[in-house]
Amino acid sequence: MLPKKAVIPVAGLGTRFLPATKVIPKEMLTVVDRPTIQYIVEEVVASGIKEVVLVTASGKSAIEDHFDYSFELETFLAQKGKLDLLNQVRQISNLIEVVSVRQKRPLGLGHAVHVTEQVVGDQPFVVCLGDDLVEAEEPCVYQMLKVFEKYQEAVVAVQEVAEEEVERYGIAEGEEVEPGVYRVKRLVEKPKPGTTSSRLAVIGRYILRPEIYDCLSRTLPGVGGEIQLTDALDILRKERGLYAYKFKGRRFDAGDKLGFLQATVHYALDHPELGGQFREYLKEIARQLD
């Protein structure tokens, strides 16, 4: 059975991006011409997923509204004959079915996933973090679904990071069973320098089995006093198995100011209308910097 639902937790406070995120959810910050959350929803739709479960909190209703039907705006655009814009706005609300679940307090990513248990039920599902963008020829989630189909165990997406970045991520240690696919032997959240030899960092894409909910119910607060998804995944690994997949593509942490700027440059360069002009502009800037 392949996953039909994608859980997207968006209930975090976005403190790394203050003051921008005081009122605006970080997932609504715009990369070129779309909020980051739309890129993620487009990725899951392109991977064949039919339903998104948003884990929200107070102050995040703009995200739900973005994917909802907007009677006033659509009527206005239709009356003005702005059909191109009307189509764009309609496409967003037609993209996917969205269900929301509230996380009443930001107790961590693991907790955010746990609150979706009733809505997801007894089936495998995808988790995508609301601020991790992956630019790839074949959508990252689609690549991972192929790994899940083969091994039938949970899969986390990993990328190789520099030695000095290891302590900022959940790190997977494992044995490579085919090119880019690892059977995970240990998973550790934000390891202290020198405590792991692996540089495989878990990024915000997961294919999970429903057994993760039981693992989450047995997970105590970890790093930062939060219920860590990484800790629950390590229980799942011990009891069933877990794979790490080195995806093909480039990931941006759009919840971080520098990552957000890098994403903006890359997506702008790839933009069908703006790309050419933007490339010329960057060349000019680069000449001035020399």
Is residue 14 involved in binding ligand UTP (CB under 6 A)? yes
**Nearer to ligand UTP (CB atom), residue 47 or residue 103:** 103
Q: Is 118 in the site for ligand UTP (CB under 6 A)?
A: no
Is 157 a binding residue for ligand UTP by CB under 6 A? The answer is no
Is-contact 77 89, C-beta < 8 A?
yes
Closest C-alpha to 251, from 191, 181, 169, 175: 169
Q: Which stretch in 10-18, 40-48, 148-156, 161-169 sits in contact with ligand UTP by CB under 6 A?
A: 10-18
Residue 60 structure tokens: 């995040």
Q: How far is the CB of 166 from ligand UTP (least distance, A)?
A: 17
Which one, 31 or 86, has the nearer CB to ligand UTP? 31
Among 16, 90, 240, 246, binds ligand UTP (CB under 6 A): 16
Coil, strand or helix: which one is 107?
A: coil
Distance of CA 95 to the CA centre of its chain: 17
Q: Does 13 bind ligand UTP (CB under 6 A)?
A: yes
Q: Tell whether residue 108 is a contact of ligand UTP (CB under 6 A).
A: yes
- The site string for ligand UTP over 241-270 (x = CB under 6 A, - otherwise) reads --------------x---------------
Coil, helix or strand at residue 66? helix
Beta carbon nearer to ligand UTP, 243 or 260: 260
Nearer to ligand UTP, 180 or 221 (CB): 221
Decide: is 52 part of the binding site for ligand UTP (CB under 6 A): no
Nearer to ligand UTP, 25 or 86 (CB): 25
Helix axes 36-46, 140-151, angle to 10 degrees: 40
Residue 103 to residue 111: CA distance in whole angstroms = 8
Residues 6+ apart with CB under 8 A from 100: 53, 54, 55, 56, 64
Neighbour tally for 9: CB within 10 Å: 29
- φ, ψ for residue 189 (rounded to 5)? -80, 125
Helix 257-270 × helix 275-289 angle, to 10°: 130
Q: Which residue is nearest to ligand UTP (CB)?
A: 12
Contacts to ligand UTP by CB under 6 A: 9-17, 55, 103, 106-109, 111-112, 129-131, 255
